[in-house]
Amino acid sequence: MQAMSDMPREPDAPGREALVRKPDREPESRRRRGLLVAGLASVGFGLAALKARGAYMVKPWGAGRPVPKLELNDLSGRPWSLAALRGQPVVMNFWATWCEPCRSEMPSLELMAQRHEKDGVVVLAVNYQEPITAIKRFLDTQLVTLPILLDRDGEMDWGSDEARRLVQGLIDRPKTA
């Protein structure tokens, strides 16, 4: 952009001058600057996403690795086990009705199950030690068609070595220097 003092002047009225603007390429240079800023921002966001992704990495369960024992019933009393789902991708969500993040993520899990059903993905919602009445009261407020498995007595010992191996096997935290 030219400085005001560098611009040519023409008489506007007797004794006065008006500024005359020369045609320039200012809109094009603004557009280029905008594209450069957007490009640099994209690179910055991309690098931040890569760094965040590196915090935890999901690993597939090894083909020869035994599946931990998980045998629970759903709300209708039907038994479920990980062994019976062998060969299918399974997403397990451990939740409780008093857990606000658990309640908030339920619609997303429902949508994921619907979108990936044709791919054979099974999404299970494992409720931890709550009465069926509390679970049904929650389900009356939210449309959930996922299988709701019941760990009513805490028979799944989530502090056990087996549970730690299960979770650690699915989520591997990279080593930091």
> pTM above the 0.85 mark?
no
The fold adopted by the segment(s) 60-172 is Glutaredoxin (3.40.30)
If you average pLDDT over residues 75-97, what whole number do you get?
A: 90
From residue 93, alpha-carbon distances to 12, 37, 104 in Å are: 76, 41, 12
Q: Is the pLDDT of residue 112 over 60?
A: yes
Q: In this predicted structure, what is the pLDDT of residue 137?
A: 95
pLDDT band at 146 (very low <50, low <70, confident <90, very high): very high
Tokens, residue 139: 């389900």
Can you tell me the distance from the alpha carbon of 44 to that of 50, in angstroms, rounded to the nearest whole number?
10
10 Å Cβ neighbour count for 138? 20
> Which element (helix H / strand E) includes 36?
helix 26-53
End-to-end Cα, the chain, rounded Å: 50
> Which element (helix H / strand E) includes 73?
strand 71-74
pLDDT band at 82 (very low <50, low <70, confident <90, very high): confident
Q: 3-class DSSP state for residue 158?
A: coil
10 Å Cβ neighbour count for 108? 10
> Which element (helix H / strand E) includes 7?
none
Where is pLDDT greater, at 56 or 59? 59
Provide the β-strand partners of residue 150.
73, 127
Tokens, residue 128: 């931890």
Q: In this predicted structure, what is the pLDDT of residue 41?
A: 52
Q: Are 123 and 113 in contact (CB under 8 A)?
A: yes
Where is pLDDT greater, at 6 or 125? 125
